[in-house]
Chains A and B, each alone.
Chain A
């Protein structure tokens, strides 16, 4: 006789106004199994796990816990059953210390001293390093995630839900995380692992349930599949690799940065130290690194939000721009897309058309003697929407009404369609589904083919290896020597990203360079 599954969902449905988020989803997770929940953005993964964790209630269908039908009305009930969850967007409190944060995730009152001891015990057992007395605002993303994991582990969970846990980690941190998860699974804890990173699922998981449009489209054994075959099940059509023509003719240097140094912008920022690089026309230059190592500061220095000390520190097509602001740099052909799309790249309360005016007004001629050429902006915005397949009602829709991935496509399209001589982008496909990511990658490659110089700052090594001609790593505000992509291994990059604290990587995951 087989053991009852740890968790079983039968025909679970959830409807939101205007959309059926989960349509008769069935799923079963065995004890000690690492089960992948795979799907594109908007496929219904998050809704499904929110129902399992008691944040939302299903409209219909049943949830079985170890063979017994249960109702999970709130997260406390989920935790009582033995369900732990590590959120994608950490539910941490910046102004409090690690201990207080963990205490908040527990249901009973525990003294600080006792909790401190328990935390140290769990951390030792699973090889997680963390100082319980540190304030959250001083911690790295990897450390923050460890808090969430420790918080979940303190409850001795029998099912741990991990929502896209690796999106912000270095390859070494991913390795450590996988070790922890395997150790947990070997002790009988089931793990529901949500991701759209296919190679991770191939490496880690024993079973996968694939969601598309709120429905289960397949269940498979990832060890018998390839990343590609699962990717095709996930998006429902053939995945297309971006067509990268070999760099034939090297163009002139279009962007030159010479010994750029900037002090920390605030207590939590990173100082830039002696950053120098050049990017030629037709070239895509990648900057890898773990979040919080100076990427934002570098982007802001390049786009003109922070000025360099000398006018000649940054040059666009030979013209010095180091002391010019963003508008001056845009006029000379340096456009940029910051990481944070809502609030930095776009204003949520403005229409898409107005957002186009904000960055394209001088290059596209939407401004004349201080008056705005609204019809031109509307046409441009409509063009971006059409070309980049942005799902929206039209140029008058508010930027804030778009989903993250759609807004990302819009802000990328807005800059690319201005045909800039130099484009600096940060995290171009962050939170964007695989199909749209491929589209954005192709658009960047096409722009480079027209002779533009492109700088891509990203934490996604796969993306950089696939896209770029040359790569550098930024660590603590310093840039490593640029290397051609073909000459550098993932392990080396990982070590550079981890700086001096890194431990050697023992596996490269399924990462493949293009």
Chain B
């Protein structure tokens, strides 16, 4: 194996991990507040088309990212209204949001099929970004650096700040948080909208960097992996970062198997791997029943104040 091959592989892994890491970071905040939003895939797709269309029409990728963020947050807010204000079932509503996202993105994207845009480049000088070795660190899109900073910031926020403590409290025991005087519903709205905004950015990463052209359902189920990743990481930011790259390696193996054609297992096997591993790890975690890796106690339960 040559150095170039290793660097290529690392760059690939880092690139394809980023949207999962982003979406999972957002969902981590949502779930810490006690809400489970299964609509990650849908929110990502909304971000994908928003980012693509705005970048294509205006030529300004930063505007594209901004609109993708807002679009993701808007989709999440629809979910929040249904679930938090109207008391709809979270699982069913999240699934509906995914279907809605698929449909909406396909509808808006029907005019853009096959069109390509220039991918967003590394923010570093060309000398570093294109250097045969240093590109492993400096040769990525801004999404990559943002995702890593974001997950670290979220970890710090959840564990070290007072606002993070309140967020955990709301997810742990909503009735107690309410009786102490925290606005449970408002905090959950904020968390859900934040998760949607980040999912929107994750979607934009697909259509603006990973494959800078529009195709229907181009997120290809990565939203579901992001959801599994949150559980896989035991609702902890540090493990989320490590777990995301672990899944990234598995997904890269799929690409490698497809491209080389001489892998031991067919590429479909590698495509199934992340899901298979997720299922196995989830089963192991739930059977261990340890103290760490526990879900927020109120996860998925509607908040019904008793007074």
Binding site for B on A (CB under 8 A): 46-47, 50, 54-56, 74-76, 79, 87, 90-96, 100, 103-105, 109
Contacts and interface: CB of A to CB of B under 8 A. Distances in A.
A56 B180 contact: no
Contact of A91 (B165, B166, B179, B294): B179
A75 B179 contact: yes
Interface of B: 162, 165-166, 168-169, 172-173, 175-177, 179-182, 294, 297, 307
Contacts of B180: 75, 91, 104-105
B181 A76 contact: yes
B307 A56 contact: yes
A32 B169 CA distance: 34
Contacts of A94: 172-173, 297
Contact of B294 (A50, A87, A95): A95
B307 A91 contact: no
Contacts of A79: 181
A55 B297 CA distance: 23
Main DSSP-derived SS at the A contact region = loop
A236 B150 CA distance: 63
7 contacts: A55-B179, A79-B181, A90-B176, A92-B176, A93-B176, A96-B168, A96-B172
Contacts of A104: 165-166, 169, 177, 180, 182
A327 B162 CA distance: 51
A259 to B, nearest CB: 30
Nearest to B305: A55
A103 B307 contact: no
A42 to B, nearest CB: 14
B169 A93 contact: yes
A419 B175 CA distance: 40
A47 B173 CA distance: 21
Contacts of A54: 181
Contacts, number: 50
Contacts of B182: 104
Contacts of B162: 103, 109
Nearest to A91: B176
A47 B152 CA distance: 44
Contacts of A50: 307
A180 to B, nearest CB: 21
Contacts of B307: 46-47, 50, 55-56
Contacts of A103: 162, 165
Nearest to A78: B181
Contact of A100 (B165, B176, B297): B165
A92 B173 contact: yes
Given A55-B307, A95-B294, A104-B165, A87 B179 contact: yes
A334 B166 CA distance: 48
Nearest to A75: B181
Contact of B175 (A91, A95, A96): A91
A104 B172 CA distance: 12
Nearest to B183: A74
A109 B161 CA distance: 9
A100 B167 CA distance: 12
A93 B181 contact: no
A95 B169 CA distance: 9
Contact of A74 (B176, B177, B181, B294): B181
Contacts of B179: 55, 75, 87, 91
B181 A96 contact: no
Contacts of B166: 104
Contacts of B176: 90-93
A93 B176 CA distance: 8
A343 B168 CA distance: 27
A55 B183 CA distance: 11
Contacts of A109: 162
Contacts of A46: 307
Given A91-B176, A93-B169, A104-B166, 19 more contacts: A55-B307, A74-B181, A75-B180, A76-B181, A79-B181, A87-B179, A91-B177, A93-B172, A93-B176, A94-B172, A95-B168, A95-B172, A96-B165, A100-B165, A104-B165, A104-B169, A104-B177, A104-B182, A109-B162
A262 B166 CA distance: 40
Nearest to B173: A93
A-B complex: 7 closest residue pairs judged by Cβ atoms:
A75-B181, A91-B176, A109-B162, A93-B172, A91-B179, A76-B181, A93-B173
